[in-house]
Amino acid sequence: MRSILRTIAILCLTFSIVPVIGAQEPTEDRAGATAPTFFGETGLFQTMSGSTVEKGRYTFGVYLNAFRYTLAPAPELAPPSARRYEDYAVALDRFSASLGYGITDRWEVTVQMPVLSLKGDAGDRAGYSDGFPYVGKFSDSGAGNLHVGTKFGLLSPKSSHRLAATAFIDFNTGKGDTGLATGNPDYGVGLAWNRRIYYASTYYTKRGRRDSSKSPSGERFEVANEFHADFGFNIPLGTLARTNWITEVNMVWHVGGDAQPDDIVNVATGVRHWMGDTPWALSAAVRDNVTALVGDSGTSGFGFLAGIHYAPTRAAAVRPPPPPPVPIPLPEAAPPIAPVPSEPRAPQELRTDVVGFDKSSARVTNVGKALLDDVALRLRQEPAATAIVTGQADSSESMGSGNDLDRRRAEAVKDYLVSRHGIDPSRITVESGGATGAMVAIVRLVAP
């Protein structure tokens, strides 16, 4: 079964590179772009985001995951052995495909179907997987439960934060007479959040029990419920404009049940690369189950993931400039009316951001780029707005041969907004702030 899954993954990876597939064009910078998780909802590898699929658009994802973890303990079933009892460490390969759709701009639904392969190589170990007992060496494969999830945005699209309520049900479609499924559905609710490069999600899963008719012992088994907490960050790499570096921590605590497996702390790190200007991306990462690595189960805990995604990104609507006022004709006999002078209105300040720099450097950092991506988005939303960039320096810094480090920092901010986001350079004013004791550039957006 494992060789079949690998073959399917290789075929999908090869086919996805064909450039003619690009019906929905991506519409914003990739720094904040998300793709389907391996559960289907949009986010990182597993960590969901507070963003949702835009109305009328759809996403597609294919993942191959390799997990290493321990089964729930079953010392009463373990065969006699010269070794002391240890929890049974097993390998789970998970191939899944998902499809998502935006019902509104703040409401998405997803469907995901997995195919699973579960294998244990220890002849003197025993444990429970979803309430099903495994003793000695074994290998099982088959369909898992059909996952149907939804996510609803809770904040205004104008907010710099994204927060969404999530819910899902895993229908009883899996192979319930094995440890791949319990034979009953699972339910879950949670929250997901992201801002710039940072992501977090949490949810609680009510696991379905294993009925006596699906248990070899003829007894009902209560499977432990699960509390999940996921954290991650998504950083665009400066030298590879279409590649993001993603690192996340995925934790699972087990609650109740007749037997509880070890709690899980998975750490995954890898890259997501967007293919040209299409909505297609490839993901690859390595992961480590830290609890298995430091425990006494005898497993390394290392695994991996590979994925293909189709994910058109959200575009912020740019409001057109207001139409010119329609002149009102005056009666011919009426004398001309002298215009009443009005006091000039002070410019309205829309936002102020502070972009930090490394010491004696005028290069924009990755964190600064993520901040300027938000500034560029606001400039697109406000066509009449302009930006005033004031560079500053610290007296302890080397100012360079021209003693103009403050101005070069301001120019670097302008260059990034113009070259990366296509902002009209005439809308950006650069100023020198001198040695003020700060290694920053201050960006003020003002509207007339």
Portion of the chain with pLDDT greater than 90, in percent = 46
User: Which of 149-153, 198-202, 216-220 comes out lowest in average pLDDT?
Assistant: 216-220
190: closest CA among 149, 218, 223?
A: 149
Tell me the mean pLDDT in the region 128-144: 94
Tell me the mean pLDDT in the region 370-377: 89
What pLDDT, on a 0 to 100 scale, did the predictor assign at position 384? 86
How far CA 70 is from CA of 28, 151, 206, 275, in Å, comes to 42, 31, 20, 37
Q: How far apart are CA 131 and CA 209, in angstroms?
A: 8
Q: How far apart are CA 307 and CA 6, in angstroms?
A: 12
Residue-wise pLDDT for 80-126, tens only, equals: 887 888 888 899 999 999 999 999 989 999 999 999 999 999 889 99
CA dihedral (146, 141, 252, 38) positive or negative: negative
What pLDDT, on a 0 to 100 scale, did the predictor assign at position 14? 37
What pLDDT, on a 0 to 100 scale, did the predictor assign at position 240? 54
What pLDDT, on a 0 to 100 scale, did the predictor assign at position 159? 86
What pLDDT, on a 0 to 100 scale, did the predictor assign at position 22? 37
Record the tokens describing residue 293, joined without a space: 């690595």
With 70 as the cut, is the pLDDT of residue 291 above it? yes
With 90 as the cut, is the pLDDT of residue 166 above it? yes
Residue-range domain boundaries for the chain: 2-310, 348-447
Q: What are phi and psi of 251, to 5 degrees?
A: -120, 145
Tell me the mean pLDDT in the region 136-151: 95
More confident residue, 277 or 70: 70
Tell me the mean pLDDT in the region 403-415: 89
With 90 as the cut, is the pLDDT of residue 59 above it? yes
With 60 as the cut, is the pLDDT of residue 5 above it? no
What pLDDT, on a 0 to 100 scale, did the predictor assign at position 149? 97
Helix, strand, or coil (residue 2) = helix
More confident residue, 5 or 152: 152
What pLDDT, on a 0 to 100 scale, did the predictor assign at position 24? 40
What pLDDT, on a 0 to 100 scale, did the predictor assign at position 97? 96
Residue-wise pLDDT for 307-317, tens only, equals: 999 987 643 33
Tell me the mean pLDDT in the region 325-347: 66
3-state SS record for 346-415: CCEEEEEEEEECCCCCCCCCHHHHHHHHHHHHHHHHCCCCEEEEEEEECCCCCCCCCCCHHHHHHHHHHH
What pLDDT, on a 0 to 100 scale, did the predictor assign at position 298? 52
With 80 as the cut, is the pLDDT of residue 437 above it? no
What pLDDT, on a 0 to 100 scale, did the predictor assign at position 15? 36
pTM over 0.85: no
Tell me the mean pLDDT in the region 16-28: 36
Portion of the chain with pLDDT greater than 70, in percent = 83
What pLDDT, on a 0 to 100 scale, did the predictor assign at position 406? 87
What pLDDT, on a 0 to 100 scale, did the predictor assign at position 381? 87
Beta strands in 256-301 (DSSP E): 264-274, 280-289
Q: How far apart are CA 396 and CA 360, in angstroms?
A: 9
Number of CB atoms found within 10 A of residue 119's CB? 16
Residue 193: which residues within 8 A CB-CB, separation 6 or more? Answer: 49, 50, 161, 162, 163, 164, 199, 200, 201
What pLDDT, on a 0 to 100 scale, did the predictor assign at position 111? 97
Helix, strand, or coil (residue 59) = strand
Per-residue confidence at 33, pLDDT binned at 50, 70, 90? low
What pLDDT, on a 0 to 100 scale, did the predictor assign at position 322? 64
Pick the CATH number of 2-310 from 2.40.160.40, 3.40.50.300, 3.90.1150.10, 1.10.10.10: 2.40.160.40
How far CA 334 is from CA of 98, 141, 148, 326, in Å, comes to 71, 90, 71, 19
Query: Across all residues in the chain, what is the average pLDDT?
Result: 83
What pLDDT, on a 0 to 100 scale, did the predictor assign at position 232? 94
Tell me the mean pLDDT in the region 400-415: 84
Residue 381: which residues within 8 A CB-CB, separation 6 or more? Answer: 316, 317, 318, 319
With 70 as the cut, is the pLDDT of residue 295 above it? no
Q: Residues 17-38, buried b or exposed e (16+ Cβ, 10 A)?
A: eeeeebebebebbbbbbbbbbb
Tell me the mean pLDDT in the region 73-78: 91
With 50 as the cut, is the pLDDT of residue 397 above it? yes
Residue-wise pLDDT for 203-234, tens only, equals: 999 999 999 998 898 899 999 999 999 999 99
What pLDDT, on a 0 to 100 scale, did the predictor assign at position 23? 37
User: Which of 19-23, 36-40, 219-223 comes out lowest in average pLDDT?
Assistant: 19-23
With 70 as the cut, is the pLDDT of residue 320 above it? no
Residue 13: which residues within 8 A CB-CB, separation 6 or more? Answer: 282, 306, 308
The domain defined by 348-447 carries CATH number 3.40.50.720: no
